[in-house]
Amino acid sequence: MKDLYVFLAVLKKYYIELKRYAFNTVMMMGGIYILFALIFLGMQSFNATPETLESTIVGFALWIFAILGFSELSWSILEEARNGTLEQLYISPVSFGRISGYRVLASFMVNLLLMSAFLMAMMVGTGHYLNLDPGVLLLVFLTLLSVYGIGYMMGGLALIFKKVQATLSIFQFLFIVLLMIPAALDSAIIYVLPVSWGSVLINDVMVRGTPFLELPLNSVMILLLNSLAYFAVGYLVFGYLEKIAKQKGLLGHY
């Protein structure tokens, strides 16, 4: 029950921030939509096929979703350190690792609502409507699980080095490469890389219209194992870096 209260508190915090800073949220989503429109119009000017244009919609939405999920833990740690509340979280009855896990889940739920509205706006604005199979939610969650694992690693680095914004910026472009690799490289390496294989399955369902239940079971299992591996490694690395930060007394300093 204690953990449920913590999760609800984290979720309420996200709601309050979105409501209080609604103007910033609207402007951020508006800026992202303008960027998407420029990319989409550029693809149209090169006479891209309808399938390519729809893949662009899916890839762009997944990229934004990945960036939001990846940076969540790192930015929250930096913000808590600036506000002087990071140490307070560490003396909570619930461990910081579990609190951060609830943050990941809450951020996924909030970002899912934002990205669903954003995806609908993209489809209406472009006139290209995708196959919204409910199973896509599971594929998106599994795909982003690996991203959250990498986010945990960055969160651990943020505890020690505090300023990691440059690294976060590098990963924004790296995710673009990971999303483009399946189209450019026909190799088994996409089974190992984060995001790449998940984007393939999401495109199969949303662009090519393959029902989720008709996807090969081994394909979904590869995605599951890939994501769990990245998430587990990320969490373990976070725990190791967290111990270093405690030993050096870095938690209360920015």
Q: What is the pLDDT of residues 107-116, one digit of tens each?
A: 888 888 888 8
Quote the tokens at residue 99: 């609190």
Q: Is residue 252 part of a domain?
A: no
pLDDT in tens, 205-216: 999 999 999 999
Residue among 240, 231, 229, 250 nearest 77 (CA): 250
> If pLDDT is split at 50, 70 and 90, which confidence band does 253 have?
low
Distance (Å, whole) CA 214 – CA 155: 37
Residue 183 has pLDDT above 80, yes or no: no
Amino acid at 205: V
Q: Which amino acid is at 29?
A: M
Token representation of residue 138? 């599971």
Contact 144, 230 (CB under 8 A): no
Residue 31 lies in a domain: yes
Host domain of residue 240:
2-247
Q: How far apart are CA 198 and CA 224, in angstroms?
A: 9
pLDDT tier, 34 (very low <50, low <70, confident <90, very high otherwise): very high
User: What is the rounded distance in angstroms from the CA atom of residue 3 to the CA atom of residue 47?
Assistant: 52
Domain count, the chain: 1
Query: Is 218 inside any structural domain?
Result: yes
Which has the closest alpha carbon to 247: 162, 163, 159, 164?
Answer: 159
State how far the Cα of 83 lies from the Cα of 41, in Å rounded to an integer. Answer: 42
- d(C-alpha 10, C-alpha 178), whole Å: 30
pLDDT given at position 217: 93
Average pLDDT over residues 1-27: 86
Read off the pLDDT band of 222 (50, 70, 90).
Answer: very high
pLDDT number for residue 38: 92
Q: Is residue 51 very low, low, confident or very high in pLDDT (cuts 50, 70, 90)?
A: confident
Helix H or strand E segment including 246: helix 217-247
Report yes or no on 253 lying in a domain.
Answer: no
Q: Reduced to 3 states, what is the DSSP secondary structure of residue 223?
A: helix
Length of the chain: 254
Domain contains 104 = yes
C-alpha span between 229 and 194 (Å, rounded) = 10
User: Domain for residue 254, yes or no?
Assistant: no
The pLDDT value given to residue 254: 52
Residue 101 pLDDT class (50, 70, 90 cuts): confident
Q: Tell me how far apart the alpha carbons of residues 64 and 103 are, in angstroms, rounded to a whole number.
A: 18
| Phi, psi dihedral angles at 23 (to 5 degrees) | -60, -45
| Span 68-87, average pLDDT | 77
The pLDDT of 84-109, averaged and rounded, is 82
Backbone region of residue 84 per phi and psi (left: phi > 0; alpha: psi in -120 to 50; beta: other values): left
d(CA 53, CA 41): 10
- Is 18 a member of any domain? yes
**Residue 218 pLDDT > 90:** yes
